[in-house]
Amino acid sequence: MSRALGELIARLVAEGRLRGTRLDGRAAGSAALAAIYVSGVVHDSRLATDGTLFVAIPGEHADGHDFAAAAVRQGATALIVERPLPGVA
pLDDT per position as a tens digit, 45-89: 999 999 999 999 999 999 999 999 999 999 999 898 988 888 886
Residue 89, pLDDT score: 62
- Cβ(33)–Cβ(21) below 8 Å: yes
Element (H, E) at 71: helix 68-74
Residue 15, pLDDT score: 83
β-pair partners for 13: none
Element (H, E) at 29: none
Q: Which residue has the higher pLDDT, 17 or 69?
A: 69
Under DSSP, the state recorded for 4 is E
CA quadruple 18, 24, 29, 33: dihedral, nearest 10:
-90
For residues 3-28, average pLDDT: 76
For 77-87, write each residue's pLDDT tens digit.
989 898 888 88
Decide yes or no: CATH 3.40.1390.10 for domain 3-80.
Answer: yes
